């Protein structure tokens, strides 16, 4: 993780209810981040995941 990452507001209750699985599959990561971005602003979708979503023609908020 980047140390200089911006400290955006974290929705802790959402995170407690929506833990990322251990060793998530690509599908699980995409699903998690699509939900995450709706409820929490603590971090952005990783660039690698955005590329994968574009490849799969999955829409995500800019
Ligand atoms: Zn978050």
Compute the distance between CA of residue 54 and CA of residue 30 in angstroms, rounded to an integer: 11
- Name the residue range of residue 39's domain: 25-56
Ligand 1: distance of its center to the CA of 57 in Å?
A: 24
Ligand 1: distance of its center to the CA of 62 in Å?
A: 16
SS3 39: helix
Tokens of 52: 């994968």
Ligand 1: distance of its center to the CA of 16 in Å?
A: 10
Query: Has residue 3 been placed in a domain?
Result: no
- pLDDT of the residue at 40: 95
Q: What is the pLDDT of residues 21-59, one digit of tens each?
A: 999 999 999 999 999 999 999 999 999 999 999 999 999
Domain count of the chain? 1
Count the Cβ atoms, other than its own, within 10 Å of residue 36: 19
Query: Has residue 40 been placed in a domain?
Result: yes
């Amino acid at each position: 993780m980047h140390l200089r990452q911006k400290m955006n507001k974290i929705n802790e209750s959402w995170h407690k209810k929506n833990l990322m699985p251990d060793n998530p599959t690509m599908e699980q990561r995409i699903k998690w981040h699509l939900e995450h971005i709706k409820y929490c602003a603590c971090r952005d979708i990783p660039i690698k995941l955005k590329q994968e979503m574009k490849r799969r023609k999955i829409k995500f908020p800019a």
